[in-house]
Amino acid sequence: MKNYISKSALRQRFSDALSSLYRKEVPAYGTLLEIVAEVNETIDPNQAVDAARLGQERHGAIRVGTANDLSTIARVFDQLGMEPVGYYDLSVAGLPIHSTAFRPVTAKGLEESPFRMFTSLLRPELIDDSSLREEAESTLAERNIFAPELLTQLKSIESNGGLAEDEAENFILSFLKTFQWHDKAQVSLETYNKFKNHHPLLSDIVSFQGPHINHLTPRTLDIDLAQEKMRQRGLKAKDVIEGPPKRKCPILLRQTAFKALSEDILFEESGEWKRGTHTARFGEIEQRGAALTPKGRELYDRCLAKKDFSDFPDDWEIMRKQDIAYFRKTDNGFEPLTYEDFLPVSAAGIFRSNLGEDGEIQTLKATANQEAFETALGRPVHDMFALYSAQAN
């Protein structure tokens, strides 16, 4: 009988391998890890929520172009114990995509390896230029973002019910190829510029052989100090931190990033390679706070709309008694559940700032379409409130 590797162990090995890959491709990511480690060392471990997870915690983000891309990557993530949680409509922020986050869904899985992948799918119906939409769809149809050996391995794992320990390294290496940077575009410079002029995300998703990972995010316990250190180390950090304001009792998710890199790209023209540039990959950090109940999210959204959070209690006991946040009972009383997911407004803010779109939000004639996303995915997404409710007591 084969000795199958656990999904949590495989997930952590893949997370470590992806971090090593990204550090080689984007050296500034290594600087970011150093900054986060320095900041986290200044925090009293007894005051840190999930302190044991900090060194290994990170999330990545990719953007895929087709339903087949999305459903296949969901099958691979399933082997890593990562399931789709939440539906995010980013068209409200002028981005022609909708998304989910693949992650562990149990407290045990998150404790063993808290790795996530925020995954976005292009919405071609939001490309209002029909000829450009057809060109994008035909370009996407001609590519396969997965290595042939990965697809072969995936079928074998699914039929066998698991991955043998001695097969794990090859599986990880095959899957890593999906996330590697490609410095040669699969479209001409003219076509790339047409896509980019319509929307920078369109050129990023369609113009390359694969959905290069565009950031890999470590978790810090003090994002304000980390942002200050980013600037001290010469990283061009965002002017503002996305998410809730700084609080004594942190809630949800706060994020910041250094601006995306302009990287050399080759475009084929008449049998020759022409140089150009592409801007996509950036360095992000996050600080996670407490998960909010539906009542808490409604209050948060009202405060966000007013840009005034004075009505939101900054006291754990009050938040628990008012059923604003989720808590679990421990030997020492109650502790808040960590928010393991994302905020669409913050995600869009990070994406837009790194596409050179800090100004007015582009208007898209769109509404949320979770049904279409789940059809492409091949399964429903988890309701995040139900997951938190199941873990709270």
Domain positions in the chain: 7-237+370-386
pLDDT of residue 302: 94
CA–CA separation, 233 and 37 (whole Å): 14
pLDDT of residue 134: 96
pLDDT of residue 393: 80
Q: Supply the DSSP symbol for 106.
A: S
pLDDT of residue 239: 84
Cβ atoms of residues 60 and 73 within 8 Å: no
pLDDT of residue 283: 85
Tens-place pLDDT, residues 59-103: 999 999 999 999 999 999 999 999 999 999 998 888 899 999 999
Question: Residue 136 CA to chain centroid, in angstroms?
Answer: 23
Question: Residue 77 CA to chain centroid, in angstroms?
Answer: 13
Average pLDDT of span 193-203: 93
Average pLDDT of span 29-53: 77
pLDDT of residue 50: 61
pLDDT of residue 360: 46
Cβ atoms of residues 179 and 18 within 8 Å: yes
Q: pTM above the 0.75 mark?
A: yes
Tens-place pLDDT, residues 282-304: 889 999 999 999 999 999 999 99
Q: Of all residues in the chain, what percent carry a pLDDT higher than 90? A: 72
Q: Which of 366, 374, 376 lies closest to 95 in space, CA to CA?
A: 366
pLDDT of residue 354: 55
pLDDT of residue 323: 97
Angle (CA) 310 340 306, round 5°: 25
| More reliable by pLDDT, 387 or 364 | 387
Q: Which of 151, 141, 139, 168 lies closest to 6 in space, CA to CA?
A: 168
CATH 3.10.180.80 is right for the domain spanning 7-237+370-386: yes
Tens-place pLDDT, residues 330-365: 888 999 999 999 997 766 566 555 555 544 445 566
Residue type, 240: V
pLDDT of residue 356: 53
pLDDT of residue 359: 43
Tens-place pLDDT, residues 231-261: 999 888 888 899 999 999 999 999 998 877 7
Average pLDDT of span 274-279: 90
CA–CA separation, 49 and 288 (whole Å): 9
Q: Report whether pLDDT(170) > 60.
A: yes
Angle (CA) 133 135 141, round 5°: 100
Residue type, 233: R
pLDDT of residue 236: 85
Q: Report whether pLDDT(52) > 70.
A: no
